Amino acid sequence: MRLSSIAAATLLLTIACQPMNTPPQPTPMQQPSVPPHSWSNPEEARVEHLTLDLSVDFPAKQLVGAATLRIAMAPGARKLVLDARDLTIERVFGASGDLQYRMGTAQSTFGAPFEISLPAGTKNVTIQYRTSPGAAALQWLEPAQTAGKRWPFLLSQSQSILARTWVPIQDTPTVRFTYDATIRVPKDLVAIMSAENPTERNATGVYRFRMLQAIPSYLLAIAVGDIAFRPLDARSGVYAEPSVVESAAREFVDIPRMMTAAEQLYGPYRWGRYDVLVLPPSFPFGGMENPRLTFLTPTLIAGDRSLVSVVAHELAHSWSGNLVTNATWNDFWLNEGFTTYLERRISEQLYGRDHAEMLWTLGGKELRDEFDLLPPADEGLKVDLAGRDPDEGSTQVPYEKGSLFLRLIEEKVGREKLDAFLRRYFDEFAFKTMTTDKFIELLRTRLLVPNNISEADLQIDAWVNKPGLPSNVPMPRSQAFALVEAQSAAFGRGTAASSLATSNWSTQQWLHFLHSLPKPLTTAQMADLDRQFRFTQTGNSEILEVWLEHAIDYGYEPAYGALEDFLVRQGRRKYLKPLYTKMAATPAGLERAKRIYAKARAGYHSVSTQTIDGILKWGN
Ligand SMILES: [Zn+2]
């Protein structure tokens, strides 16, 4: 389905919905533009504020309650169109009583247009509803899936267009709203949201939240569980299950320094507090930049703070993404490429230039690997996701190619000028949206023309619209990696693993070592490496994942038990995707993959099962 067909479908439904007491519908020519991947009509009626009052029903796996929307209406507007997917609507009413509504036909990922007729002058609409136990944004964990094993846990993931599965809302990044919420949970549990949060358990089980800054729907977030809090400084802290919170606070102790570094570069942090929540291991992402409360995977807890660049990334979203937001999911690189660039700058400030160069190199490797799997049309920064699940655009391209484009600009104009440009950009477009075309225009007028840099020199078109990497791609260089390459080459020439010089290597060096080993490796070489470095037993998820890829590629059976265990005990898509993909490459591997998946699937979030179902053709 192409995007234009979504718009067309809206029109058909609009016409089909005529029985409501509304004035004649506009003809298709007059139909206001519909945001991509949304059924909503913000140009007619726009949500300004959301009030949620929800009870969390763990046995039924449902949120039950009401959403009240404050609306700004254009003159003559008579209806509000929201996005809704798998919601059961019980009643819709305004100040004057019940309102007529109509749920259109649902279309897979996009859900349905939820159209409410509005009498003139309507300011507030209340929707009583309940979510479905299968709501795609929500994951209901059994006690066994938590660290404490005693209480259930609820977590949400709204990006890209999953908010509509738990809140009836205009689910597009072009609509921003403030919110408040009352959340009722079992008395032993704590609720927290992407908002002002409690730091103490509340004996009543009723938690109230306020989000004073306007956010797009994909940043709505909730978690409920046995959650404790440890402060890091006056404005940041860590939430996690009680048995995890101390190790999490130790791992993420650098957050206050990261905030200071980010503010020096890009201006004040505008969201009040910055806390992180370490979730149970099924969380599908490394992190999610829910404002005021980043959600994190526990696979970042390596014990040596070596994987905290993900936290720098999520913090950086407080500027790129949460403050200046991609106008559509086709412009996703404006969120992720900028954030990856900022993440590397914050990491450089804290841990030095060579450390940042290692991150750049590892990112570039992931990008080049991804190019092997992607259709050329999805390799430009600006992608066409019309009619597709926008999650399909969540590849390494917006992240790594996007950040390399910014690094190229830095190399051309100089760091000082790019920093000044970015600082002004975040100030000027704070709480607004940005398109790729508008950004390129700003780049042209503010950086290229004043500095006499031609567009041909920058190869803008190749970066934005063409596959692969342009010839002017920046080449990061790390001294630490040069040392690693000498050792992997020596291993390739026959030096025993025990004779390699690897003392004091960082996680990033180990990763680069595994990437730069000669191909293919024999079973004897794999066994030699494993005996010496104990990769199969490592507690570092990042290293383990790359090692397990080798184990699949080279049929190293002693690691198969660890492979299965890793796939069953965590659900981070970045790890699942390459491992299942590699297994699926051979008939025997595919069989093993399906056997493991049958066991693991119930523990994954829908974001991950959506991807892995496709890789394994599950259910076909
Ligand atoms: Zn990001």
The predicted model gives 403-425 an average pLDDT of 98
HSE-up (13 A, CA, CB side) for residue 464 = 17
Give the distance (Å) from ligand 1 centre to CA of residue 396.
11
Tens-digit pLDDT profile for residues 561-576: 999 999 999 999 999 9
Reported as a pLDDT band with limits 50, 70 and 90, residue 428 is very high
Give Cα separations from 195 to 207, 381, 566 (angstroms): 12, 31, 33
Domain 319-465 class in CATH: mainly alpha
Arithmetic mean of pLDDT, 29-56: 84
How would residue 16 be classed by pLDDT, with cut points 50, 70 and 90? Answer: very low
Confidence of residue 19 (pLDDT cuts 50, 70, 90): very low
How far is it, in rounded angstroms, from Cα 494 to Cα 509? 20
Using the predicted structure, report yes or no on whether residue 185 has a pLDDT greater than 80: yes
How many CB atoms are located within 10 Å of the residue 470 CB? 16
165 vs 111: CA distance, rounded Å: 8
Over the range 42-64, which residues count as b (16 or more CB within 10 Å of their CB) and which as e?
A: bebbbbebbbbbbbbbbeebbbb
Taking residues 36-53, what's their average pLDDT?
A: 97
pLDDT for 619 equals 87
In the DSSP assignment, the letter for residue 111 is B
Cα 74 to ligand 1 centre (Å): 34
- Residue 212: which H helix or E strand, with range? strand 206-216
Residue 35 has pLDDT above 80, yes or no: no
Give the C-alpha separation, 447 to 443, whole Å: 5
- Mean pLDDT across 360-387: 96
Is a pLDDT exceeding 50 seen at residue 124? yes
58 has a pLDDT exceeding 80: yes
| Cα–Cα dist 215/160, whole Å | 14
Residue 504 region, left (φ>0) first, then alpha (ψ -120 to 50), else beta?
A: left
**Strand pairing partners for 63?**
56
Burial class (CB in 10 A: 0-12, 13-18, 19+), 247: middle
Please report, as a single letter, which amino acid is at residue 399.
Y
* Ligand 1 center–CA 320 separation, angstroms: 9
Q: Report the C-alpha gap between 448 and 441 in whole angstroms.
A: 10
CA of 384 to the centre of ligand 1 (A): 19
pLDDT at residue 603 is higher than 50: yes
Measured in Å, residue 339 CA sits from the centre of ligand 1 at: 6
Which residues neighbour 6 within 8 Å (Cβ) at sequence distance 6 or greater?
Answer: 34, 36, 37, 39, 107, 110, 387
Reported as a single tens digit per residue, the pLDDT across 243-280 is 999 999 999 999 999 999 999 999 999 999 999 999 99
Report the separation in Å between the CA atom of 153 and the middle of ligand 1, taken as the mean of its atom positions.
24
Q: Are 325 and 333 in contact (CB under 8 A)?
A: no
Half-sphere exposure of 480 (CA within 13 A, CB side): 23
Q: Is the pLDDT of residue 374 over 50?
A: yes
Please give the pLDDT value at position 34: 64
| Residue 15 pLDDT exceeds 90 | no
Report CA(335)–ligand 1 centroid distance (Å).
Answer: 7
What spacing in Å lies between the alpha carbon of 378 and ligand 1's midpoint? 18
Residue 26 in this model has a pLDDT that exceeds 50: no
Q: What's the 343 CA to ligand 1 centre distance in angstroms?
A: 9
Helix 479-492 with 507-516: angle, nearest 10 deg = 40
The band of 620, judged by pLDDT with boundaries at 50, 70 and 90, is: confident
- Number of continuous H segments (helices) and E segments (strands) in the chain: 20, 21
- Please determine, for residue 308, whether its predicted confidence score (pLDDT) is greater than 50: yes
CA 511 / ligand 1 centre spacing (Å): 21
- Give the C-alpha separation, 174 to 195, whole Å: 20
Angle subtended at Cα 253 by Cα 249 and Cα 256, rounded to the nearest 5 degrees: 125
- Answer whether residue 30 shows pLDDT above 60: no
- The model's pTM is 0.93
CA of 286 to the centre of ligand 1 (A): 9
CA–CA distances in Å: residue 192 to residues 217, 229, 422: 17, 11, 32
| Mean pLDDT over the full length of the chain | 94
Contact call for residues 21 and 94 (beta carbons, < 8 A): no
Amino acid letter at 553? Answer: D
With contact defined as beta carbons under 8 Å apart, do 138 and 62 qualify?
no
Helix (H, G, I), strand (E, B) or coil at 435: coil
Ligand 1 center to 292 CA (angstroms): 15
Residue 557 CA, ligand 1 centroid: distance in Å:
35
**For residue 528, how far is its CA from the centre of ligand 1 (angstroms)?**
37
What are the residues whose beta carbons fall under 8 Å from the beta carbon of 452, sequence distance 6 or more? none
Active-site residue list: 314, 399
Half-sphere exposure of 534 (CA within 13 A, CB side): 4
Residue 602 banded pLDDT, cuts 50, 70, 90? very high
Q: Can you state the angle between helices 332-351 and 402-413, rounded to 10 degrees?
A: 60
Q: d(Cα 396, Cα 402) in Å, to the nearest integer?
A: 9
Phi and psi (nearest 5°) for 493?
A: -85, 0
pLDDT average, residue stretch 401-413: 98
**For the chain, which residues make up each domain, given as ranges?**
3-226, 319-465, 485-616
CA-CA distance, 41 to 171, in Å (whole number)?
A: 10
Has residue 498 got a pLDDT over 70? yes
Tell me the mean pLDDT in the region 39-50.
97
Cα–Cα distance list, 306 to 229, 310, 461, 589 (Å): 22, 10, 36, 32
CA of residue 268 to ligand 1 center, whole Å: 20
Token pair 């070592």 in the structure block, residue = 513
- Residue 10: the pLDDT is 35
Q: How far apart are CA 58 and CA 597, in angstroms?
A: 25
Whether 97 and 154 have beta carbons less than 8 Å apart is answered as no
How many Å apart are CA 219 and CA 151, to the nearest integer? 26
Burial of 153 from C-beta contacts in 10 A (0-12 / 13-18 / 19+): buried
Per-residue pLDDT at 17 exceeds 90:
no
pLDDT(22) > 70: no
How far is the centre of ligand 1, averaged over its atoms, from the C-alpha of 314 (Å)? 6
Q: What average pLDDT score do residues 16-30 get?
A: 33
Q: Ligand 1 mean position to 398 CA, how many Å?
A: 9
Counting residues of the chain whose pLDDT is more than 90, the rounded percentage is: 93
Who contacts 340 (Cβ-Cβ below 8 Å, separation ≥6)? 313, 363, 399, 400, 402, 403
Does pLDDT of 588 surpass 80?
yes
Domain 3-226 matching CATH 2.60.40.1730: the answer reads yes
Give the distance between the most distant pair of CA atoms in the chain. Answer: 82
For domain 485-616, the CATH architecture is: Alpha Horseshoe (1.25)
pLDDT recorded at residue 23: 31
| Mean pLDDT along residues 320-346 | 98
